[in-house]
Amino acid sequence: MIHIVTDSTSDFTQAQAEELGVTIVPLVVRFGDEQFRDGVDLTADAFYRRLTTGRTHPSTSQPSPEEFSAVYESLLRSRDDSVLSIHISGKLSGTLQSAHIAAQQFDAGRIHLVDSETVSGGLQLLVRAAVEDVRAGHDFETVSGTATRRRSRVGLYVLLDTLTYLHRGGRIGRAQAMLGSLLNVKPLLTTDHGEVAPQARVRSRNRGLDMIVDLLRPRAPLRALAAFHAGAPELVDQICTRLAAAFPDTEVIVGQVGPVVGTYAGPGGIGVAYLAR
């Protein structure tokens, strides 16, 4: 049996993960001395309330190799079991490194690791596509190889309210160049080979939402889209209206950015990920 593992930065709800048969390894969010497992001990709604009203800025940490080992051991019960483990970009987190250390404890070929080179909705689209491959009856070599190749067809655009949280958390990447030049404008970011990169500066959220759709048009035909908000559900309605008009035959998965990714995105953001055919 092929088992699919990912981490909590994929921003699946627990119900979605159970429905898909995906195992989630949670990262950790800390507010001072308080520690929470992402999506397990702290919901996204509770996180954003605390982020906007509390005085302590959160920090995050990756799962330990021991946590991954426990998950892999629980799944590799028979000789026919294998694990496809798809994770947040290695340039954004040490999660993949922990998974790699854990995988070395098992027989070669039974665990295949994939650096998604993305996060949140982008990571989720890769995982969902892999689940479809497994359900279609493909063998482990085919599923894992396809997942690795497919990441080149995944992209992500994120419109943030501010770069403050990304900068404070040390994940700003090449978007560092935007700091100091964002007075009265919003940053539109993308991911490039797993790193945060600047895309554009826009004068308003509405212009930013329009630009995301414009950037997506050349990527068509699209297999799937994902729209994820960071404590701003009204933005999902606005972007989904635009996406439905531009790509009427493409499924749009809707969700909320969880606590770990929200630590760096901050409140008030919206992101759209795509998987091209």
Three-state DSSP at 250 gives coil
Residue span of the structural domain in which 28 resides = 2-151
Is 252 found in the same domain as 202? Answer: yes
Domain CATH code at residue 63: 3.40.50.10170
Is 76 found in the same domain as 121? Answer: yes
pLDDT of residue 173: 55
φ, ψ for residue 111, nearest 5 deg? -125, 125
By the 8 A CB rule, do 146 and 112 touch?
no
Positive or negative, the Cα torsion across 152, 221, 272, 204? positive
pLDDT of residue 185: 78
Is 217 found in the same domain as 175? Answer: yes
pLDDT of residue 183: 56
* Final residue in a domain of this structure, among 93, 119, 151: 151
* Final residue in a domain of this structure, among 136, 151, 166: 151
Is 127 found in the same domain as 41? Answer: yes
pLDDT of residue 52: 87
- Other beta carbons within 10 angstroms of residue 184's beta carbon come to 7
- Other beta carbons within 10 angstroms of residue 118's beta carbon come to 24
Domain CATH code at residue 242: 3.30.1180.10
pLDDT tens for the 277 residues of the chain, in order: 999 999 999 999 999 999 999 999 999 999 999 999 999 999 999 999 999 888 888 999 999 999 999 999 999 999 999 999 999 999 999 999 999 999 999 999 999 999 999 999 999 999 999 999 999 999 999 999 999 999 999 999 999 988 788 777 556 555 555 554 555 678 999 999 999 998 998 989 999 999 999 999 999 999 999 999 999 999 999 999 999 999 999 999 999 999 999 999 999 999 999 999 9
Between the alpha carbon of residue 173 and those of residues 84, 113, 163, the distances in Å are: 28, 24, 11
Is 135 found in the same domain as 218? Answer: no
Is 136 found in the same domain as 163? Answer: no
Is 207 found in the same domain as 145? Answer: no
Is 184 found in the same domain as 81? Answer: no
Is 93 found in the same domain as 166? Answer: no
Is 206 found in the same domain as 123? Answer: no
Gyration radius of the chain over CA positions = 18
Is 146 found in the same domain as 17? Answer: yes
Q: How many domains does the chain fold into?
A: 2
* Final residue in a domain of this structure, among 133, 151, 169: 151
Is 211 found in the same domain as 120? Answer: no
* Direct distance between the N- and C-terminal alpha carbons of the chain, in angstroms, rounded to an integer: 27
